[in-house]
């Protein structure tokens, strides 16, 4: 089932998400809903706070090639256990901040540990878009948005555009 994605500014997007204590069928269904919502948007990542659920859950799939098989990842309680000293700059966007993009500098490589939908602990090293996406989505769990990495003026400009967009959507 597709979920509604919260749009910035929304106070729920700035809150810390709670750790997932145990994997219920309800949480597994939420993860499936989040994947459906992410693919439909379309996006490459989505965090539970973006659909109004303050739980530490993210979904990712950074496979973009048309002839490549999708690689959906469901991560409960993801955490970055190490990151490279080498940095990367990616133009980031966010499903909660549609049509707004900015260059963000992050570690080029990260090692992430999480629990999958079967309750198994997983650990993997990501680079490129996968590394950026994992960091971006884990930031959401801590109430941090990609625009928080920008200079105040640029951040305020994007926030004003979003306030205007939300006002127009409410009128429609």
Q: Report the side by side order of strands in the sheet with 121-127.
A: 45-47, 57-60, 73-83, 109-115, 121-127
Measured CA to CA, the distance from residue 36 to residue 39 in angstroms comes to 5
The dihedral formed by the CA atoms of 61, 82, 92 and 154, expressed in degrees to the nearest 10: 160
With 0-12 / 13-18 / 19 or more C-beta atoms within 10 angstroms meaning exposed / middle / buried, residue 165 is middle
What are the tokens at 16? 């810390």
99 catalytic per annotation: no
- Catalytic residue, from 109, 121, 137, 168: name it: 137
Measured CA to CA, the distance from residue 1 to residue 126 in angstroms comes to 29
Annotated catalytic sites, by residue?
Answer: 137
């Amino acid at each position: 089932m597709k979920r509604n994605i919260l749009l910035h500014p929304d106070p729920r997007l700035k809150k810390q998400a709670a750790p997932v204590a145990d994997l219920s069928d309800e949480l597994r269904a939420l993860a499936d809903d989040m994947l459906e919502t992410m693919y439909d948007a379309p996006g490459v990542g989505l965090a539970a706070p973006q659909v109004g659920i303050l739980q530490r859950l993210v979904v990712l799939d950074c496979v973009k090639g048309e002839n490549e098989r999708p690689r959906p990842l469901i991560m409960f309680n993801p955490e970055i256990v190490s990151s490279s000293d080498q940095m990367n700059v990616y133009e980031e966007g966010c499903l909660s901040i549609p049509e707004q993009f900015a260059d963000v500098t992050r570690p080029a490589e990260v090692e992430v540990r999480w629990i999958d939908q079967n309750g198994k602990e997983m650990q993997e090293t990501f680079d490129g878009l996968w590394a950026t996406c994992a960091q971006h989505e884990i930031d959401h769990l801590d109430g941090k948005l990609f625009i928080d990495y920008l200079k105040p003026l640029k951040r305020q400009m994007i926030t004003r555009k979003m306030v205007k967009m939300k006002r127009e959507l409410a009128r429609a």
